[in-house]
Structure 1
């Protein structure tokens, strides 16, 4: 789903006149980064999006200057980063130090979605595009109302990870209520019969409905953008709380 979201998003930007002819993928080289990069490359190849540069690196690195210099040399239109928190912070600082930025900078959630990244580096990545399953969104929506309740109790906003964890517990609670029992088989049957609509979920999913493998076939990704130190949903348009602004601004 995430790779398809990137593909649809970039093809839409291309149709609007934005250059997306050259795409770089920068990924930390554990199973997480390598597998995500592989899926993105596979989907992009099918959709006619040209990945011209792949830069794997160690997530434990303390210096990403060589990687940023590689990007600066090739100067791709789009860069997708697949990083943990400490390396995401390093990339934000190093790109500023070396004075290089692409027209579109995309973060694959993870480290770039960490509240500590947002607080320490948000001012360096204005206009960063990020994948997420959650954004508080428009006032009056379920996500906004739940986020308000969460913030009043915890003094912080929900983020992608905490929102998905909350959604999982709410799905389980709903199934237990419908099962009317604590019997495992009855709860499992209720979970399989789950059919929640978009206006019944906290995350940005189109709903919750499981296939035979237990995967939510209504799961979907939001594209958010860093605006003034916080992420604002900008795509798809029916879930946007702000208008996408390109090119990437940075610092």
Structure 2
């Protein structure tokens, strides 16, 4: 793969491009003519991007080329023939439970690796992020959005459910009642509400999105990697631990950090 100005292209297939520059990886959706509409082939490429990250990568930026981050699932999925070489929705419906579960689990792999404990992932979102597009943004740890962003979860209106791992982070960010209302109505969530409810970490003018992501990347890389990894693990675990269990986890993590800083780690 070519290298340009220190940026090395590791993967480019099925609407996904993975580039590496030092400790930063960028995963770009590169179907701007389709508003980065997603397909099973794109999901496999996204899963492959996660498997292709070098060990030196600490931070992953996810972006979509063009006016929209991702308009969701490609409408071809809803046609009787579906995508070439892929099972149509009708074919999936006719599958037995185990086969259907396995196919959906494969699709979900594109959305699961972004919260790995050794990485921090940042979604840079502009324009539409609908359905699978919103779920992909939700797969990341952090979201910086442009002022023109329009989030929506449209699956319920199509007679489906959000099944690409988006329900857990959505409820964690905005709460059960608001998450239910967003999903059941399919309405748009725009930038001001996204920032107010925690769906977005930061809202910036569209022209400043790239520079804002760069500033955040620099800040996130400033701390030692192991300290960030331990802190992320503590925060992720806090959701399911009791107060006392979290205190115990904090003590254990700090003991590991102190021993490591003193040169006494394993």
TM-score by length of 1: 0.30
Q: Which protein has greater RCO, CA pairs closer than 8 Å, 6+ apart? A: 1
